[in-house]
């Protein structure tokens, strides 16, 4: 959908600061904004992007006072985050309007819209959606659901009970174990003055690279806009939670029970042990090693570090501190 600044101001009950004829047709994160994009600014951590983005439109709080020149046309609203949620809900409702279709299983129209490569196996009680492409030699085992408009690579294996939501992109040689869920909505909600929460619609997807393995029961959330990204060669163990908008670099290994909150960026060749918790909107440098049950509450900017503890600190400092702790009370 394409919006003008004037239309958005009406929909969101805001005011236009700039060219009211400026238009946008895509949603994007503020750090990735380009001409034709609509972005939003609500978190002070991202203020520097306000002055560098080339997006066409920018949602901001009405009391925001820029310190430098802002290129996009701003739509000033009471609460930019809440306004984004309202707008995403509006777009989702219009996307889905009039698109409900009913097909008897594997009718000709349904079947011909789905493209299977050579030597594809689809097990009993599995469903592959409309306009989905499945690469050569991929095996979709029993009781698997693959949604509409997905792109599945070659030589993949989806074990029983896997759920892949519509619009996902999965590379070659990917193994997804039983009961993993790829593409459910992220945990995005806007707090209201009365203490209740309003759900934010998620219109993005998940993009998984080549040679990835995902353990049973792991969930990877789709992004609010753009994509949650899993790089090539990433290995994710059982019962992990990867939040919306997360980016995981190539060849990173993540052990079981780890949770990564939304919009965190994990570097390449990292090792993340079991039951680690990583807060949202953080950056983890390449070649970082994180010990078991560590809690990461700040970005790690130096490559090659090993951290332990909760909150996590440098491993050498941790062991010195632990020695003192053990002697305490004796």
Q: What is the pLDDT of residues 220-256, one digit of tens each?
A: 999 988 899 999 999 999 999 999 999 999 999 999 9
State residue 109's pLDDT score: 46
Q: Tell me, yes or no, whether 291 and 190 share the same domain.
A: yes
Q: Tell me, yes or no, whether 298 and 191 share the same domain.
A: yes
Model confidence pLDDT, tens digit, residues 305-318: 999 999 999 999 99
CB 134 within 8 A of CB 115: yes
Model confidence pLDDT, tens digit, residues 3-42: 898 988 898 889 999 998 999 988 888 988 899 999 999 8
89-98, 135-144, 145-154: the lowest-pLDDT one: 89-98
pLDDT band at 43 (very low <50, low <70, confident <90, very high): confident
β-pairing, 205-208 vs 227-230, is parallel
State residue 88's pLDDT score: 84
CB 39 within 8 A of CB 28: yes
In three-state secondary structure terms, 80 is helix
Buried b (16+ CB within 10 A) or exposed e, 271-291: ebbbbbbbbeebebbebbbbb
Higher-confidence residue of 300 and 200: namely 300
Q: Is residue 191 part of a domain?
A: yes
In three-state secondary structure terms, 140 is strand
pLDDT band at 96 (very low <50, low <70, confident <90, very high): low
Q: Is residue 115 part of a domain?
A: no
Q: Is residue 139 part of a domain?
A: no
15-19, 101-105, 118-122: the lowest-pLDDT one: 101-105
Mean pLDDT to the nearest integer, 65-87: 89
Q: What is the DSSP code (8-state) at residue 280?
A: T
Q: Which of 244, 251, 281, 287 is catalytic?
A: 244
Using CA atoms, how far apart are residues 20 and 205, in angstroms rounded to an integer? 30
CB 200 within 8 A of CB 84: yes
pLDDT band at 329 (very low <50, low <70, confident <90, very high): low
Q: Is residue 121 part of a domain?
A: no
Mean pLDDT to the nearest integer, 67-96: 85
Q: Is residue 286 part of a domain?
A: yes
Q: Tell me, yes or no, whether 177 and 318 share the same domain.
A: yes
- Count of domains in the chain? 2
CATH code of the domain containing 223: 2.160.10.10
Domain finish residue from 76, 96, 116: 96
Q: Tell me, yes or no, whether 78 and 219 share the same domain.
A: no
Q: Tell me, yes or no, whether 182 and 317 share the same domain.
A: yes
State residue 185's pLDDT score: 92
Mean pLDDT to the nearest integer, 255-265: 96
Read out DSSP for 1-39?
--EEHHHHHHHHT-EEES-TT-EE-EE--GGG--TTEEE
Q: Is residue 207 part of a domain?
A: yes
Q: Is residue 144 part of a domain?
A: no
Using CA atoms, how far apart are residues 164 and 85, in angstroms rounded to an integer? 24
Q: Tell me, yes or no, whether 282 and 181 share the same domain.
A: yes
Domain finish residue from 96, 126, 147: 96
State residue 110's pLDDT score: 55
Q: Tell me, yes or no, whether 200 and 288 share the same domain.
A: yes
Higher-confidence residue of 329 and 27: namely 27
β-pairing, 73-77 vs 15-17, is antiparallel
Domain finish residue from 77, 96, 115: 96
To the query of whether residue 244 is one of the catalytic residues in this protein, the response is: yes
Torsion over CA: 83, 89, 93, 96 (sign): positive
Model confidence pLDDT, tens digit, residues 275-298: 999 999 999 999 999 999 999 999
Residue 266: which domain range?
168-322
Q: Tell me, yes or no, whether 79 and 184 share the same domain.
A: no
Q: Is residue 147 part of a domain?
A: no
The pTM of this model reads: 0.82
Q: Tell me, yes or no, whether 87 and 172 share the same domain.
A: no
Q: What is the DSSP code (8-state) at residue 68?
A: S
Q: Tell me, yes or no, whether 177 and 83 share the same domain.
A: no
pLDDT cut 70: percent of the chain above it:
94
pLDDT band at 84 (very low <50, low <70, confident <90, very high): confident
Mean pLDDT to the nearest integer, 48-57: 93
CATH code of the domain containing 18: 3.40.1390.10
pLDDT band at 174 (very low <50, low <70, confident <90, very high): very high
Q: Tell me, yes or no, whether 83 and 199 share the same domain.
A: no
């Amino acid at each position: 959908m394409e919006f003008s600044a004037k239309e958005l101001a009406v929909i969101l009950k805001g005011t236009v600061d700039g060219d009211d004829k400026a238009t946008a047709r895509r949603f994007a994160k503020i750090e990735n904004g380009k001409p034709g994009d609509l972005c939003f600014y609500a978190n002070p951590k991202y203020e520097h992007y306000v002055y560098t983005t080339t997006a066409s439109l920018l949602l901001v709080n009405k009391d925001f006072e820029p310190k430098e020149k802002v290129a996009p046309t701003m739509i000033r609203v009471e609460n930019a985050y809440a306004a984004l949620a309202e707008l995403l809900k509006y777009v989702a409702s219009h996307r889905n309007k009039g698109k409900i279709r009913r097909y008897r299983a594997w009718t000709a129209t349904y079947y011909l819209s789905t493209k299977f490569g050579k030597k594809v196996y689809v097990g009993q009680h599995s469903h592959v959606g409309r306009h989905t492409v499945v690469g050569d030699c991929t095996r979709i085992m029993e009781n698997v659901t693959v949604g509409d408009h997905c792109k599945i690579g070659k030589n993949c294996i989806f074990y029983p009970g896997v759920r892949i939501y519509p619009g996902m992109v999965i590379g070659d040689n990917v193994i997804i174990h039983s009961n993993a869920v790829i593409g459910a909505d992220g945990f995005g909600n806007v707090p209201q003055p009365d203490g209740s929460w309003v759900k934010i619609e998620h219109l993005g997807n998940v993009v998984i690279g080549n040679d990835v393995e995902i353990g049973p029961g792991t969930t990877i959330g789709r992004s609010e806009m753009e994509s949650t990204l899993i790089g090539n060669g990433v290995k994710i163990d059982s019962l992990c939670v990867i939040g919306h908008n997360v980016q995981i670099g190539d060849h990173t290994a993540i052990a079981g029970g780890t949770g990564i909150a939304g919009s965190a960026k994990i570097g390449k060749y990292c090792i993340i042990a079991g039951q680690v918790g990583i807060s949202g909107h953080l950056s983890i440098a390449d070649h970082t090693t994180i010990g078991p049950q560590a809690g990461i509450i700040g970005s790690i900017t130096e490559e090659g570090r090993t951290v332990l503890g909760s909150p996590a600190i440098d491993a050498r400092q941790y062991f010195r501190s632990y020695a003192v702790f053990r002697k305490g009370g004796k």
